[in-house]
Amino acid sequence: MGGGGGGNFPSSDLKNLEQKAKESLKAASSDASRNVFVGFAYEDVDEVNLLRGQAKNEKTDLQFDDYSVKEAFDSKNADYIKRQIREKLERVSVSVIYLSSNSAKSKWVDWEIQESLKMGKGVIGVYKGDDPPHSVPPAFKENNLKAVKWSHEELSKAIEEASKKR
């Protein structure tokens, strides 16, 4: 008993359905959230937490999955810290560097930029206010990386562009 026959679809209908499915999948993947590492000096954690919160808010256009360090590692062992950060960087397509006077002086932020680039990750900077900061981490300047204003639209676009250039 079983199975019977609901008839055959003409091949043109199947091709149309297949094309619509491919277009739908492509659109869904371009709307997908990006995996992002946020590099910053720990002194800027409150502002970075605000950025993270905005990325989680469903009512904003800014969307990314944050794989960055949430709390400072309780260690003075630099190799351990680097290993932990590398594990997080391996999971992302883009590193977003929060640019401030603190990050410009941070050896860890500079190292995160260098390591991201070595791993082939897209790297962009984001700054608060209307004007880009005068001083940035050395690796940011040496690699002539792009910085954008902290606006949902500009940052979302920059993350998408950086993920495609890697």
Query: What digits encode the pLDDT tens for the residues 28-75?
Result: 444 445 888 999 998 998 998 888 777 665 554 444 555 565 555 555
Residue ranges and CATH numbers for the domains of the chain are: 34-165 (3.40.50.450)
Cα distances (Å, whole numbers) of residue 104 to 56, 60, 74, 140: 27, 29, 23, 9
Q: Residues 124-160: pLDDT tens digits?
A: 999 999 998 999 999 999 999 999 998 878 888 998 8
Report yes or no: 119 and 147 within 8 Å, Cβ to Cβ.
no
- pLDDT the model gives residue 52: 77
pLDDT in tens, 68-89: 655 555 557 788 888 888 998 9
pLDDT at 56: 66
Query: pTM score, two decimals?
Result: 0.72
